[in-house]
Structures are given as structure tokens and as C-alpha cells.
Structure 1
Amino acid sequence: VVSTPHSVQLMPAEASGCRNYQGVAWYRKHFIVPEETAGKDVALHFEGIMGKQKIYVNGKEVKDHLGGYLPVTVSLTESGVKPGEECVVAVMADNSDDKDFPPGKKQHSLDFAYHGGIYRDVWMIAKSPVSITDAIEADRVAGGGVFVHFDNVSGKGADVNVSTDVANNGTATRKVTVETSLIDPKGRLVRKVSSPVSVKSGETRTVAQSIHVKNPELWSPDSPSLYRVESRIKDGKSSIDGGVTRVGIRTFEFDGDKGFILNGKPFGQLVGANRHQDFAYVGNALPNSQQWRDAKRLRDAGCRIIRVAHYPQDPSFMDACDELGMFVIVATPGWQYWNKNPKFAEYVHQNTREIIRRDRNHPCVLMWEPILNETRYPENFSLEALQITKDEYPYPGRPIAAADVHSAGVKENYDLVYGWPGDDEKADAPRQNIFTREWGENVDDWYAHNNDNRASRSWGERPMKVQALSLAKTYDGLYRTTGKFIGGAQWHPFDHQRGYHPDPYWGGIYDAFRQPKYAYHMFRSQTAHDLDHPVAESGPMVYIMHEMSQFSDPDVVVFSNCDSVRLSIYDGARSWTLPVRHEAGHMPSAPVVFKNVWDFWEARDY
């Protein structure tokens, strides 16, 4: 007996090099469909099953699905299962290598692992025959479900536009009312609007409504204010379906000369990290609470943007980014692999469509990455991927599309390009803003650990100190800009298992158990000392990167976001005060180095 989310096997603490199980795993569940679902359409919604799946209901195959990062829904009602009856659902999950669908690359040459199983939540959903559709199951461009977008956004007002897609799976025409309420961040009703609609049997109707908000609380990383769109389908006075969509009202612009502008004001550099969903022991099978904690750890470290690597994340992680105030770049599954079979590109594009339909209402979503990471692909694929982002989100204020500057069709057409600090100073600088998708890696051999940003926590003080200062040097370079270069995401904040190397990736500022390394405190020191974040760690901080051991360096390095630091040793027998440099064009708070102040033998005399 297992519970979801579930990993096919518990991993060793160091399980890289394809030591995880790959192959078929079967799940079966015997249950009785609750009698209280009588008169409703009953479905099972799987948030994520790794690899290839076949789903059976009472011995009959009802779904064949490819891809491990997006949801799968099967209808028990359409399979003939009635309330009160026994039912057996069987799921075949196969995380074996398969070149025919993305990511496509064999795990032995992959930078992460295809941990198997039903590794995200599973829900039984019972809905009225007249109900709001599922955005992915509806499979319509810019349609299905509830779609919220904004117009005329400023500090004085904003128009909240809500499209609600209603389907009638019953046998007769139904006259219902679509009621939408907007609730502000303090729980107060802004306005309620109602629209009657007649829906024929087998028909779907989309109802468009608009609510004006005066003096809105705008969403930003330091003030992540969330509104609630409460949707109800009403038959007379009775609610027969509904749901809640959390949204953030914000407007942003990427100005090729001025950088990133949020809510009408220059934002400064967008600095953050990438995120794999891998965790020690359980692989990808993180519960929602741990997804939230991971997001908070990244926000505590001062991250204001997360690039998901290299696939869409758990819905609860996206919710957490909304709450904590972190922008997200959502990537379609793929890494250094292209299959010339046209079907492969079709799968990539379908993944991108489903990603946008799933995540389009999240205020945290700033960019889509609709192409394959670090992959050589043809221009027509690149242009079609870009067009999909526009078609699926055809409204003002849409998240933009980003891709590598040197990939086919990108520099000439995409909204933002991935590049490096200094690219904005070149004679052939792109017209768009530039963002570094992965920074901090000084590797000279992808198979080895021959670089100074990778250090296992178990290696101790000296390696972790070298790592922290290496990352600090690169962090500092992210603030070198003419205005066109806008920041980057570190690779990678959490140590994780990978396919192509027997050792885990050790470049994280946390280890695989989420214990911080010294580099975490360097990150943390880059937040302003006067920041008062509603959820994340904030305020003044000081961290002394020194263990006072016989192996410790004479120099003492301190990370702080204050204006100066006073260091005292030997019960105050000696002390020094040094400034914390906050220089324009450099990282917000440079490390403070107290030269030659520690001597182990001298310390023994005190």
C-alpha cells in the first residue's frame, strides 16, 4: 500500500549515475465510487506521472499518455462507472528512456533523473453536468476553464477581465448564471457580477465579465498581494459548480534600454536561481508542503526570479511563488536533444500549450520558454513555438517568450534573449533585453567537478568558502549593465541527482536535504536590510563565514547587508570595523574581508 505522491523507490543519499529504477511500475486502486456523486460527472485527475502511462478502468484501457510533467484526467463517468459501484483503476507508469517524446534524451547522458511513479497528487473530482471546463481537457486555444487578464493597470485603477468556460454534459438545455466575485487581499468584496447564459446539451459557452478595481494593491516580489476570483455556476439560488482563482494585479515591460519595468517603475536586476524538483531519498515525489518550503528557501535567499529546469513544476510550487513573490520562467520539457521526426516537435508544442493553459493565471509567471534548452533546432520550430505563446495568451500584459540568443530565429523575433553580462556592450548587441538563464558554473569538464562553484557540504569549511566566494564574484557581474542586461538565474540552488555522473551535482547553496551551505548566506546578504517581506526572511543580517578551527584561514569573511560590520575576537581584546560596500554597478552587498585576524595557536592562549 502506497500513498501519492509516490516514488517507485527510495533513493540513496547519493543516487546519481542512473542508480534510480527505470522501467514499468503498476499501480492499482480498488474503491467504491461515493454515492454522493450521483448525478455528477466523476473524473480522476493525476497532476503528474513520469514517462509513458496507460490507465485502465475496470480492465479497459481509457487513456494512453506520453510525458511526465503535465496532468492527465480520466472520466469514470464516461467509462460507465456509477455511484455506489465497485471500481478498479490500474495505472501503468514507465519511466524508461524514450526518444519519441520530450525530453527524449537518454538518462545516462541527462543532467537530471527520470524518477518514476505517480509522483504528484491525484484527485477525484465530481462535477455537475453543467460546470466550468478544465483548461487542458477543453483543448482550445486561449480557452477553457477560467482565464483572468488585466487592462489599464496603474496604481489608480485596473480592469480585471474574467472569461469563464461553461460546458453542458447533460441531456437538455440549461439556463444558468455565471457569478464572479472579486475579493481583495484583505478579504473584502470588491464587486460581484452575474451573467445569465443558456447552454444547450453538448455545448460549451464562454462568458466574459469585467470588474474595475480602484486603487488596486499591485503584486510585486516585495509585496505579493493576491486577489481571489470566486466563480460560481448557479441554477436559481443554488451553486452547482465553482472554484477560486488567485490572481495578482501587475503590469510589466521589458525596455531594451531601460531594463525591466514593473508597475511603471524601474525594477533593477532580476536575480534568482533555477530549480529542479529533485529531493533527497524521495526523488521527485515531494508533498505540497515541501514544494512550498523549497519556494520559501529560495525567497529567503533573496531570489526574485526562478527558472524551472527543465520542465513545468508542481502546481503547489507555482502557488508558493505567487504567495512569496518570485517571478517564474516556465520551461517546456527538453534538454540538449532534438528528434527530426515531426511528431517530436508536435509533442513539444502541445506541452507548451498545456503549460500555458495550466499556469496562465499565476501572477508569478513572467516568461515562457517554449523551446528546448541548449538544443539545436530549426527556425520553423522556433517561430511556431513563439507564435503559440502569443496565441494562447492573446491579451495585453502577457508573459513574454525567451530563448538562447544564438538559436535559430530567436535574436530576430523573440521578446527576450538569454545571454551574458557584457553582451549588451558588444557591437552586435541584440535589441531585446538580455537575461542569463544559468550563471555560476565555471566548469571546464561537464563530467568532472573541476570548478570552484561545486562543493559538497560534507567537504567542510574551505571548499564551501571557495564556492561562496566564487558565486559572489559571478553574482557581482550580474550588476554590470548598460540597462539592457537585466540579471540571471543561478545554476543550481539545490544539490540533485543526475543521470550522466556517478556523483550528485554539488553546486547548490543548499544540499539535497536543504541544509544551507555558506553560499546561502552570501545570497541572503543581497537583500536590503530595510526590506520587510510579509513571509520570507528579511531585515538586517550578519554571517561570519569562519569555523575558528585549526584548519581555518587567517582571513575572516563576513556576509552582511548592513552598512558596516564590527568584528571582535578574544573576548573583545581586539576589534575591527569595516564598511560593507554598496556600489552602483556591483552586487548590493559585497563580502567583507578582515585580513589576517585569526591564528589558531594564538587563540589557544585566550
Structure 2
Amino acid sequence: MNKNLFLTLSAFLFLFPLSGKATGTYRPETSVAGFIQLPGSGRQVYDFNPGWRFFKSDISGAETVNFDDRSWEVVSTPHTVELMPAEASGCRNYQGPVWYRKHFVVPAETKGQRVSIHFEAAMGKQILYLNGKRIQEHIGGYLPFTLDLTTYGVQAGDSCLLAVFVDNSDDKSYPPGKRQYTLDFTYHGGIYRDVWMIAKSPISITDAIESQTVAGGGVFVHFDQISEKSAQVCVNTEVQNENTRSESVIVETTLTDADGKIIRRISGKLSLQSGEKKIIRQQMEVKNPKLWSPDTPYLYRVQSRLKKGNQSIDGGITRVGIRLAEFRGKDGFWLNGKPFGQLVGANRHQDFAYVGNALPNSQQWRDAKRLRDAGCTIIRTAHYPQDPSFMDACDELGLFVIVATPGWQYWNKDLQFGELVHRNTREMIRRDRNHPSVLMWEPILNETRYPLDFALKALDITKEEYPYPGRPVAAADVHSAGVKEHYDVVYGWPGDDEKEDRPEQCIFTREFGENVDDWYAHNNDNRASRSWGEHPLLVQALSLAKSYDEMYRTTGLFIGGAQWHPFDHQRGYHPDPYWG
């Protein structure tokens, strides 16, 4: 058995053992391109992970149809380009080009539908070849991209070759941009997240990212007038007609409780010219809503269907949580009309021993479960958007999330670099805006000196992409350009709330617990390897306990912080892992 596949299956079976009997084993739902599958909707989703052939290096002609790839390793995605030792920091991971090839037949039952391949992420730079032809490029390692097969003439029943060139080499032209040997994490290579084939009607709900519509695309659920007595659920659905003729469809939106019981159903008609896309806005009132919180993470389900007559031609399910989050300055953070107290949690990098970034969805869920069981109520993603299944888990388990745009201690003065950061920010908001777990956006580059106009545009983007009440707020370091004067929440420290020049906004510590005296050594009491024995681990635990205690020292303006870092992770610049 392929080693990567074995590790993936082992991680899955550890948490979710298979059984021929009805044991009641819990299996988390997996969303695909923002939707959980809705039976009978007309949209078909296929697991495109198995059956890739893989070659670690560059090789001439790998994109051609007649290239002989029979000697290549057979792998499944999520895939890492090499299995690494448990302690493999210091740029020991492979950086450079790799190839993936997959021969496949488009299912016959997709006849009459538009078919695309959806990649949740691949590390670095990607070039896609379809049947030997160079089709498209994508840069960046943390956000999804889609190949529309139908646009290039592929039809149901066709035999195809998809070749993907992936390169995780250092590249200063796009975020994060920093060379790995000076980086505090690693660019583990490969197609390291899930890949899906999606078939849907020519008249369909658009993809939130591919649509490139500001505050639009796909299904966008937001809320208004939230109280314990009632709440307004607002659903914006963007539909596109890719037929050659005008079409009319019914957009049916159904709100159900967690068990599937229908609460409200509403329908509206859309007429679209060929090639046209429109947004329909629908609103429903919920009486006595069950409000989402870390202690009661209740999820409603929005079922979206496009219908022609009685036939459903496209649709999906969006899980949502109704909640009202307020940052009231000196009065602190309030949730659902009541003071919440401190938001205390941790940062999280996405890599894992041996497999790099290629964690299965079960391991993503287990990481979130461990963090919540440890008492965390908030997670800051370090320093990039993370796997969709991790976001799904945070919704379900009651973890708030700060979603960060990719970047760390690096600025490129080339204007194109800043624009690519802004593009990443728009795409991460479009991907994650429906998650009740998302509390803040971090739309700037972490620990980076950036210009004022960049910071102000980054803030404007968060408001443009989520222009409704109760939006997730924007957060950044209080001393960075434009932040103290304009941002919604500022990053600072316990005691900043008692200074004469204290900010008016709520203050949150993005990283606490680090007592570093030498960045190139482990001379601090919050890091300890398990191999060092019991005493260093006790010192580490007591150090972190003291740091956690400081998070509760507040006048109200200071609202908590996220520990750096609960899990071991590999680093580029240092020969040892971070021992969390």
C-alpha cells in the first residue's frame, strides 16, 4: 500500500473505526466548495482524490497525453511530496517542482451538466494541463482554484488526462513571499488538500470565489435583528445562466433545524439572459432562535435549490449559526446580548508529523476537538486560511476563529505583491463568510511593516466583502500603520488597556506564552520536547499556566488572547521543530 494512503487511512481509523454494525460512530460532515451535499438537488460531487500518478522533480513532456507514466508512484490526495521525519525542521523538506497526472473518464451521468475540478489547495505555483494543452495557472498555497472542464470542450464519457505541475520553491513575487530558510513554518509541497469533481446544471448557483463578485457569488447567509425572541435570516443566492438561451428558474430556500425539521421555506423566480448572472435576496424570520455560542454551537441548515417546474437542477446545504458578536470597547466582548468574558485560545499551524500539510479531514477535526476540549474558545489561523474541514469542525465544536491572509514578516515593494495580498483576502472572505466560527479577519501581513494605504485598503475590503450588520471585524497590530486609528480590534497586551494612550477598541493578544531570549535556540521555558523528560515539561506547563492567567487581567478593554503554539510544528529557519 502507498505510504501516504496508509497514513491517511490510519489517522481516519484511529478516530473513526469502521464497523459492519450500526455502532453510532460519529462522522463529521464534509463541505465541498462551501456546500454540504443535498440529496436530490441535481448537483453531483465525486471524490477526485484517488488514482494520481506522482513524480518528484521536473521532467520534460510530463504534460503530454502519450507520456509514459507507468513507472510513477500511484498516490491519493491529500498528498505530501515526501514523508518527513517527525522532527524535520531546518529546510529539510523538499522544495522544487513535482508532477501529478490523472487519467479519468467523465461520468456518463453528467451528460448535459457542466463539470469542473475543484482543488481545495496546492502548495505554491500550479500549472494545469488538460489533454496536453496548458490551460491555466494559479499562484498561492492556501486557497482553492477550479478547472472548468466544460469550457474546454470536455463532455460526458470523454477520456481525459489532467496533468498538474506544482512548485513550492521560494518565490518573493506572491504571498507569503518569504524564503523558507528565514521562515518560522514550512512550505510543504504537493496537492495537500482534497480534490473534487463537481457536475451541475448550466443554470446553477455560482462558486463564491470563481464568480469574482464583490459581496456575492454562491450563497451568502447573514443575519439581522438578532435576539433571544427572533432573528432575521437573510440569504443571497447568485445564479448564472450558461445556456445559449434565456432561462427562468425558481430559487427555493429552506431553513431547517439541526435535525432537518423545516422552519421556513421561501421561493422566488429569476429570469436570466444567456450568460447573465443575478443575485436573489430572500429573508426569513426565526422565532426563539437557538443562538450559537462556544457552549451551545447550534447549527441550522439552509437548503438551496434551483428548480425548473418540480425538478431540482442544482443546490446544496449551508450550515449556519445565528449569533450576535459585539466588541464594545471598554465594556469588552459581548455575545448574544451578554458579556462573554475573555476569549482565550491558541494559534494553529496546519502541518503534522510525517505528512507535512497533507492531513485528512478526520485529523483536521481531531485537532479542533483537542483544542476545544483543552478549554480554547478561539483559534487564530497561523498564518493563512486553513482546511475547509477545520473550519467546519470549529463551527460544530464551538470555536471562534481569526482567519489570517497568507503572510509573515515579509513585504515586497512591488505593487503587484500588495494586490495579490488583497486578492487572497477577498477570496478567504468569500470562502469562509458563512461560518459562524469566524469572528475576525486578519487582512494584513503578520509582523510586517507595511504602508498606510495598504492597511486602509485591507480594512475597506473586509467591509466591501461583508457589508452587513454583525460582520466579522478586522484586527491587526496596534502599532502598525493606520491600525489604531481605523481598525475594529487591535492586537496588544495585558496592561495596554491601562495606559494613558490606550486605544478605544478592544485589545486582543494574537500570540502569548512566548518567552524568547534567542530566536535561534530553545532557551525559553514555554518550549519543551517530550524527549527531554518530565521536569522540562512541568516547567513548560507552569510557564503557560502563568501566561494563561495573565489573559484574565483586564479592565474590560482587554478581551483575551491566543497562545503560541499548542502543537509541535516544523520550521524553516531553525533545525528543531517548534515544541509546543
Shorter-chain TM band: 0.7 to 0.9
Question: Match for residue 507 of structure 2?
Answer: 434
Cα separation, 2, equivalents of 1:445 and 1:28: 45
| Matched ranges for 1:594-605 at <5 A | none
Do residues 140 (structure 1) and 221 (structure 2) align?
no
Which residue in 1 is equivalent to 2:182?
A: 109
- Give, in whole Å, the separation in 2 of the partners of 1:72 and 1:380: 28
Matched, 1:462 2:535: yes
- How many Å separate the matches in 2 of 1:289 and 1:157? 35
Question: How big is the shift at 1:186?
Answer: 3.5
Using the alignment, how far apart are the partners of 1:89 and 1:186 within structure 2? Answer: 40
Instruction: Return the alpha-carbon distance in structure 1 between the equivalents of residues 279 and 526 of structure 2.
Output: 52
Q: What pairs with 1:141-156 in structure 2 (closer than 5 Å)?
A: 141-156=214-229
Q: Distance in 2 between matches of 1:60 and 1:39?
A: 24
Query: Within the alignment, does 1:291 sit opposite 2:361 as a pair?
Result: no
Question: Displacement, 1:196?
Answer: 1.2
1:30-109 equivalences under 5 Å are: 30-109=103-182
**2:269 maps to which residue?**
196
Gaps of 5+ in 1: 509-606
The aligned counterpart of 1:381 is 454
Aligned to 2:439: 366
What's 1:505 paired with?
A: 578
Could you say which residue in structure 2 is the equivalent of 1:166?
239
Q: Where does residue 9 of structure 1 map in the other structure?
A: 82
Q: Report the AA paired with residue 476 of structure 1.
A: D
**Aligned-residue offset at 1:109:** 0.4
The C-alpha deviation readout for 1:560-581, integer Å capped at 9, x for no partner, is xxxxxxxxxxxxxxxxxxxxxx
Matched letter for residue 145 of structure 1:
G
Question: Is 1:482 the counterpart of 2:550 in the alignment?
Answer: no
Counterpart of 2:82, as a letter, is Q
Greater RCO between the two (CA within 8 Å, min separation 6)? 2
1:391 aligns with 2:464: yes
Q: Give the Å deviation of 1:460.
A: 1.3
Q: Could you tell me how far apart the structure 1 residues matched to 2:379 and 2:410 are?
A: 23
SS at match of 1:108: helix
C-alpha distance after superposition, 1:442-500 (max 9, x if no partner): 01111110100000011111000000000011111111111000000000010000000
Match of residue 179 from structure 1 = 252
Residue 185 of structure 1 deviates from its aligned partner by 2.4
Deviation at 1:187, TM superposition (A): 2.6
Amino acid at match of 1:62: I
Structure 1 partner of 2:522: 449
1:269-418 alignment runs, 5 A limit: 269-418=342-491
2:150 is paired with a residue whose SS is: coil
Q: How does 1:547-566 map to 2 (within 5 A)?
A: none
The alignment partner of 1:140 has SS state of coil
Paired letter, 1:105: K
- Report the aligned-residue RMSD: 0.5
Residue 431 (structure 1) shift: 0.7
Range moving further from structure 2, 483-492 or 81-90: 81-90
Aligned to 2:209, the other structure's residue is in SS state: helix
Aligned partner of residue 316 in structure 2, secondary structure: strand
Percent identity, aligned pairs only? 75
Give distance in 2, aligned partners of 1:442 and 1:267: 28
2-structure distance, mates of 1:184, 1:14: 45
Q: Which amino acid aligns with 1:175?
A: S
Instruction: Say how many residue pairs are matched.
Output: 507
Q: Secondary structure at the match of 2:536?
A: helix
The alignment partner of 1:194 has SS state of strand
Q: Which residue identity lines up with residue 135 of structure 2 in the other structure?
A: V
Which has more radius of gyration? Answer: 1
Equivalent of residue 212 in structure 1, options 272, 279, 285: 285
Match of 1:265 among 312, 318, 338: 338
- 2-side partners of 1:308 and 1:407: how far apart? 20
Q: Which amino acid aligns with 2:298?
A: S
Q: Is the partner of 2:577 in helix, strand or coil? A: coil
Q: Tell me the equivalent position of 1:562.
A: none
1: distance between equivalents of 2:288 and 2:258? 13
- The one-letter amino acid of 1:460's match is G
Residue deviations 1:62-101 (CA, integer Å, cap 9, x gap): 1111100000101111111121111000000000000000
The residue that corresponds to 1:518 in the other structure is none
Q: For residue 206 of structure 2, what is the amino acid of its counterpart?
A: T
Aligned to 2:63: none
2:264 and 2:77 map into 1 onto residues whose CA distance is: 39
TM-score (norm 2): 0.87
Q: Which residue of 2 aligns with 1:473?
A: 546
Name 2:93's counterpart in structure 1.
20
SS of equivalent to 2:330:
coil
TM-score using structure 1 length: 0.83
Local SS of the residue matching 1:502: coil
User: For 1:419 and 1:466, how far apart are their aligned partners in 2?
Assistant: 26
Could you tell me how far apart the structure 2 residues matched to 1:249 and 1:24 are? 45
| Alpha-carbon distance in structure 1 between the residues aligned to 2:517 and 2:77 | 40
Amino acid at match of 1:381: F
- 1-structure distance, mates of 2:258, 2:242: 35
The aligned residue for residue 244 of structure 1 is 317
Q: Distance in 2 between matches of 1:194 and 1:433?
A: 41
**Pairwise CA distance, 1:184:** 1.3
Give the partner amino acid of 2:525.
D
Partner Cα distance (1:492, 1:357) in 2:
27
SS across alignment from 1:398: coil
- 3-state SS of the aligned residue for 2:369? helix
1:120 corresponds in structure 2 to: 193
**Residue identity in the other structure for 2:521:** A
Q: After the TM superposition, which segments of 4 or more aligned residues of structure 1 sit over 6 Å from their partners?
A: none
Query: How far did residue 315 of structure 1 move?
Result: 0.2
Give the drift of 1:257: 1.0
Q: Secondary structure at the match of 1:78?
A: helix
Deviation per residue, 1:206-247 (Å, 9 max, x gap): 111001000000000000000000000001000000000000
Give the match for residue 51 of structure 2. Answer: none
CA distance in 2, matches of 1:156, 1:34: 48
